[in-house]
Amino acid sequence: MNEVSFVRTEMLEQEAPPASTVGVIGWLRANLFSNALNSVLTIIALFSVFSLLYGFLPWAYSPTWAAASLSECRDILHSLGREGHFSGACWGVVRDRWVQLLFGFYPSEHYWRPVLAFFLTFAALAPVLFAEKTPAKMIWVSVLYPFVMPWLLWGGTVWTPVVALLGFVVGIYVYRTVTAAMGSLFGLIAAVVAAAIWWLFIASSVSSGLAGILELAMEPVSSRQFGGLMLSLTIGIVAIGFSLPLGIVLALGRQSDLLIVKALCVGFIEFIRGVPLITLLFVASTLLNIFMPPGTNFDIIMRVIIMATLFSSAYMAEVIRGGLAALPKGQYEGGDSLGLNYWQAQRLIIMPQALKISIPGIVSNFIGLFKDTTLVSVIGLLDPLGLSTAIRANAEWNGVVWELYGFIALLFFVFCFSMARYSMYLERKLQTGHK
């Protein structure tokens, strides 16, 4: 008996996927109700969120924005039939003190200076964070920003940042001159010594002389008038900006073959990591002046910035060292096979890969450092938390707690969340492996 095989002569029509696998229902099944355990956890989480919002939203929706004191808030809530301590938020304190929470006691007629410095921060970061999307000439904003920002915030003569910038020019000139004659190591040492001599012994006289010829200055603002979010941003931005390069140097020094260099870097890292930041801040506020020459007036914010930078750089060094350790030995051998010297191999091959691997740890360290700026309240500097204590000590707002802390938490969340999102963007951008 002959069997005839059936051969289809036309293609079947494409059918729509099952309704339970696409759209909202498909997403819910795949992500929230994929099995019995996930379904139970989803229901518990939804119930918890609902319970939280059920109590929070009525409290947050409170028509007390125009109140001028806590007693007025209570009168407004009482007129609406809402009784009890947690019957409604008193948002009048935010309306009344939000400027102080942002600027501290900075003179109101000069608010434009920290605002301008804040926006210049984004202009200076753009060539670094989004190099391919910004004009090449924007890099000059990044170069000049470290000198313009202090002048905007503290004021004084414009010749101070100009002369400070000239110190780097002197260092670069000495480096090139000595390197051409004696090599890069001697050139680097000579450049550091020349720049230090300029800043310590020459810069002040040159700045005073130029100010006597042409006085270009803004009204000085003392560090004790700094406060609020502006103080946290100032300390955080400067400490973050300096801790990364210092951490790279410490990480490389810890892996150095030179015994003295390695011992110094290891000793510094382990000592700083073994001491709480609050202890270093107390040292900065009380003990540091003891080791300075008599009559030296070392700015308190500058002392805090130095200690915060040193503290963060020690942790940054370990994060970067982890990235360096993750690289296979072949990367180092590849640099040697190409005839690159140590610094060329680090700049072109090793460090870009190590930093890419270390991005989550680096950004996490940045976020932690920015949040740790609130510790300056223990040494008398009025950051947002320090100001909240002073505001609650006022008779008009004595008893207001959650509204102030909630507003401060929102401010910090905006900046920390932004840094975290940029970290994720940078990881996706630099992804070279399999997804």
Domain count of the fold of the chain: 3
Same domain, 76 and 169: no
Same domain, 393 and 269: yes
Residue, of 7 and 338, whose pLDDT is higher:
338
Percent of the chain scoring above 70 in pLDDT:
94
Task: Among 19-28, 57-66, 228-237, 291-300, name the one with the lowest average pLDDT.
Answer: 291-300
The answer to whether 62 touches 77, Cβ cutoff 8 Å, is: yes
pLDDT, the chain, mean: 87
Residue 37 within any structural domain of the chain: no
> Of the residues 218, 253, 268, which one is the last residue of a structural domain?
218
Domain of residue 278 covers 102-106+225-429
Same domain, 184 and 241: no
Query: Which residue intervals of 226-299 are DSSP H helices?
Result: 228-254, 259-273, 277-282
Single pTM value for the model: 0.86
The answer to whether 264 touches 314, Cβ cutoff 8 Å, is: no
Same domain, 253 and 212: no
Same domain, 257 and 338: yes
C-beta neighbour count of 121 within 10 angstroms: 15
pLDDT at position 84 over 70? no
Confidence class for position 381, pLDDT limits 50, 70, 90: confident
Same domain, 358 and 306: yes
Same domain, 245 and 197: no
Confidence class for position 113, pLDDT limits 50, 70, 90: very high
Same domain, 173 and 65: no
Q: What are phi and psi of 370, to 5 degrees?
A: -65, -40
Same domain, 282 and 355: yes
Residue, of 221 and 214, whose pLDDT is higher:
221
Amino acid at site 312: S
Same domain, 212 and 245: no
Tell which residue, 244, 219, 237, has the closest CA to residue 111: 219
pLDDT at position 435 over 50? no
> Of the residues 184, 218, 252, which one is the last residue of a structural domain?
218
pLDDT in tens, 388-434: 988 998 888 988 889 999 999 999 999 999 999 988 888 888 776 54
pLDDT in tens, 180-214: 888 777 888 889 899 989 988 898 889 889 888 88
CATH, residue 246: 1.10.3720.10
Residue 26 within any structural domain of the chain: no
Same domain, 258 and 373: yes
Same domain, 284 and 244: yes
Amino acid at site 304: V
pLDDT of residue 1: 54
Q: What are phi and psi of 157, to 5 degrees?
A: -75, 145
Q: Is 397 helix (H, G, I), strand (E, B) or coil?
A: coil
Residue 160 within any structural domain of the chain: yes
Residue 296 within any structural domain of the chain: yes
Residue 41 within any structural domain of the chain: no
Task: Among 142-146, 280-284, 386-390, name the one with the lowest average pLDDT.
Answer: 280-284
